Amino acid sequence: MLMLAATGPGARFGWWHFRTSFALMRYGAYVGIAAVVVSLVGLLLSRGRGRLVAVAGLALGAVAFLLPWNWRRDARQYPGIHDISTDVQNPPPFVAVAPLRQDAPNPVAYAGDSVARVQRQAYPDVQPLMLAMPVDSAFSLAVRTARQMGWEMVDQDRGQGRIEATATTPWMGFKDDVVIRVSSASGISRVDVRSKSRVGGGDAGANANRIREYLRRLRQADPRPIQTEPAP
């Protein structure tokens, strides 16, 4: 259990590479299986307090195995992509965030049709949001909502309608970058959001869920919501 408890802080505070945390989770699962087996034997052979110790070992071993096993099972349900956008034809570009990603394994550039096809199939609901308000008002609302998400604000360019921020995952401390584009669309405002991980091949759905939650809050703040525009 101590091994598993160290995986998050170890990666978050830079004590070791995040892949080391994944390895510790795997080894923790193996230790959990061994603990379950030993505890079952102890439960069968022991009496009195020995049985209580065996039950405790069985419970701890089961938790040590099930936590990483469930995480791995859930992660495999998502596609191996880490760049999600409400506009896959013309994704909002990262500008101010780009220098912050110089050493990141995942580049700022969008991978193109290969990623877009996978996203459309996996996350068909990730679409632009239309707001019944002028662009300037929509931009201000978009900034306030981004702050409410707890993101670290990197840049706000009202003239370009671009907002950039960085989100940090709660356990491992992964850095995912977000860019929001607010544009005019026939007298109303269109909001596009792109979220991309700095590391990792897949994101276990984190970027799509982040965009969904942001747009949900934005939609709730609009007194006259308009149906989300379908992607091309």
Q: Quick check: helix, strand or coil at residue 2?
A: helix
For the entire predicted model, the pTM comes to 0.79
Q: Based on the domain organization, do 154 and 200 belong to the same domain?
A: yes
115 occurs within a structural domain? yes
Length of the chain: 232
171 occurs within a structural domain? yes
Report the C-alpha gap between 74 and 205 in whole angstroms. Answer: 10
pLDDT of residue 36: 82
| pLDDT tens profile 54-111 | 888 888 778 777 776 676 777 678 999 999 999 999 999 999 999 999 999 999 999 9
- Taking residue 62's Cβ as centre, other Cβ atoms within 10 Å add up to 15
Q: How is 61-90 classified by DSSP, letter by letter?
A: HHHHHHHHHHHHHHHTTS-S--EEES-SSS
| pLDDT tens profile 95-135 | 999 999 999 999 999 999 999 999 999 999 999 999 999 99
Q: Based on the domain organization, do 121 and 209 belong to the same domain?
A: yes
Tokens 């996996």 — which residue? 122
Q: Based on the domain organization, do 95 and 180 belong to the same domain?
A: yes
Q: How far is CA 67 from the centre of its chain?
A: 18
Q: CA geometry: angle at 118 spanning 114 and 119, to 5°?
A: 115
Structural domain for 69, as ranges: 2-75
Q: Based on the domain organization, do 119 and 204 belong to the same domain?
A: yes
Of the candidates 52, 28, 30, the one whose C-alpha atom is nearest the C-alpha of residue 42 is 52
Q: Based on the domain organization, do 71 and 89 belong to the same domain?
A: no
pLDDT of residue 93: 97
Q: Which of 51, 75, 99 is the last residue of a domain?
A: 75
Q: Based on the domain organization, do 35 and 131 belong to the same domain?
A: no
205 occurs within a structural domain? yes
pLDDT at position 223 over 70: no
Q: Based on the domain organization, do 96 and 138 belong to the same domain?
A: yes
Number of domains in the chain: 2
| pLDDT tens profile 157-166 | 999 999 999 9
